[in-house]
Structure 1
Amino acid sequence: MTWFRQLDACVGTSRLVCLPYAGGNGTIYESWTKWLPPEVELWAPDLPAREQRMLEAPVEDMELLVAALADEIRSDDRPTTLFGHSFGALVAFELSRRLQQDSLPVRCLVASGMLAPRTLPDRPAPTDGEILASLRSHGVAPKEFFQQPELLELVMPGLRADYRMALGYQYRRGPKLSAPVFALGGTDDPAVPAEGLAAWAEESDGGCRTRMWQGGHMYLLNQVEEVAGFVIACHLQSIGG
């Protein structure tokens, strides 16, 4: 079983890899293919405990998850940009570190909806009720989702694993990224204020730019074309396109 799938049908010369929020999957980025230039491939992870891997046990350790993703990306040395939202931003950051350590640095890291890793506070693992409350507040799933016990039973293992990895994340000091970082957030997201995005500058020798988008934590779901276009432009700029 591979850990990634390509969302578009082109054969490109570079890759944009998009990592989802906690409990999410690559499907949320499928619409981005409409705005891709033909030379750029769009990839997303196929993670255990969701979609076609629903019956597999979830990965519950960040290091194991990053190692598995890095192994597959390393098999192809085309220029790569990583985009991640919320929990996906943490995965993208650690994956960028691992690839740089392996002499295959990413060209650009776009981190969305997440405080700079070194500023994250210690947080307890959430209960199932708190996880579901978080999903409701962010508007990630329709109301009907919360009224289907059988579906909830299927998806909760992956949600628990992702939330626990996100809230239990322990920052470790290491070499700064050589790639530029773009840190994005929603203007109405109280958990990720502008100063929390600005602190991403401490993680990169390649420079850091921030941008705030109108909306809350899941701003990207309501401004799909604009956000996708911005991320694709960041990638093209990083590879000289």
Structure 2
Amino acid sequence: MSLLRRLSAGEGTSRILCLPYAGGGGSVYESWTKTIPAHVDVWVPDLPGREHRMLDEPVEDLYELVAALADALGEDPVPTSLFGHSLGSLVAFELARELEARSLPVRCLVASGMSAPRTLTPRPAPTDAQILADLRRMGVAPDELFSQPDLVELLLPGLRADYTMALGYTYREGPKLSCGIFAVGGTDDAHVPLTGLAAWSEETVRACETRMWEGGHMYLLDHAEDLAAFVTTCHTRSLGE
């Protein structure tokens, strides 16, 4: 099975690759196809241990995942921008770095729900109980999930891998990106303050803009249409530069 999947119909002249948060899958972005114009394709990863690949062994090494995504994109000349939320922001950032190293720079990077990589401090991987408590606190999973132990057991390998990548991330010094960065988040996200978003400016030679929507860490679920339109605007602006 391919690592990447196009959600939108038709043949767009450019694309946005949307990377999910810890425990999430590409299907979270299906609603975006109703907002993003037909000439822009929406792509998502089909990651092992999630959704269509639930029974596959998940990847726990972020840089291994990034290399696989870069290989999957290949030397495709289609203009590409990246969007990621939470863990997806870190994957998008390192993927942008990897593609630039391969002389395939992306058009823009939209990092959501994550402070700038250089501000992060590695932390130990949480226990299963802590992972489930975190999901409940953020409202990522429906309450009925937690009363189905067999389903929880099926989901835990992917969740463990995601949390290991997110919390264990160690920033590596490297060249600044040549693309613009847009750092966005929720006004009530106590773990991602505006200062954390603003610090993304240190990762690009271009401009870095910030914007916040009302809500907590998972604000994107309540503002899917507006966020999709914003990301599309960032992408199409980059095409005209």
The two structures have a TM-score, normalised by structure 2, of 0.98
**What residue in structure 1 maps to residue 20 of structure 2?**
20
CA drift at 1:70: 0.3
> In structure 1, what is the Cα distance between the partners aligned to 2:240 and 2:230?
15
CA drift at 1:33: 0.2
CA drift at 1:188: 0.2
Asked if 1:137 is matched to 2:137, the reply is yes
Asked if 1:177 is matched to 2:199, the reply is no
> In structure 1, what is the Cα distance between the partners aligned to 2:93 and 2:218?
19
> In structure 2, what is the Cα distance between the partners aligned to 1:119 and 1:101?
23
> In structure 1, what is the Cα distance between the partners aligned to 2:190 and 2:11?
40
Q: Secondary structure at the match of 1:210?
A: strand
- Tell me whether 115-124 or 94-103 shows the greater mean CA deviation: 115-124
CA-atom RMSD, angstroms?
Answer: 0.9
Q: Please give the residue correspondences for 1:121-200 in structure 2 after superposition, counting only pairs within 5 Å.
A: 121-200=121-200
> In structure 2, what is the Cα distance between the partners aligned to 1:37 and 1:185?
23
1:164-184 alpha-carbon deviations (Å, 9 max, x no partner): 010000100000000000000
The letter of the residue matching 2:211 is: R
The letter of the residue matching 1:114 is: M
CA contact (8 A) 1:74 1:99 kept: no
CA drift at 1:75: 3.7
The letter of the residue matching 2:153 is: E
Asked if 1:114 is matched to 2:117, the reply is no
CA contact (8 A) 1:17 1:82 kept: yes
CA drift at 1:50: 1.2
> In structure 2, what is the Cα distance between the partners aligned to 1:226 and 1:52?
27
CA drift at 1:206: 1.5
**What residue in structure 1 maps to residue 203 of structure 2?**
203
| Runs of 4+ with >2 A deviation | none
Asked if 1:35 is matched to 2:69, the reply is no
- Structure 2 spans left out of the alignment, 5+ residues: none
CA contact (8 A) 1:74 1:104 kept: no
CA drift at 1:237: 0.7
**What residue in structure 1 maps to residue 72 of structure 2?**
72
**What residue in structure 2 maps to residue 102 of structure 1?**
102
Q: Secondary structure at the match of 1:11?
A: coil
1:122-141 alpha-carbon deviations (Å, 9 max, x no partner): 21111111111110111111
> In structure 1, what is the Cα distance between the partners aligned to 2:75 and 2:128?
37
The letter of the residue matching 1:168 is: G
Q: Secondary structure at the match of 1:182?
A: strand
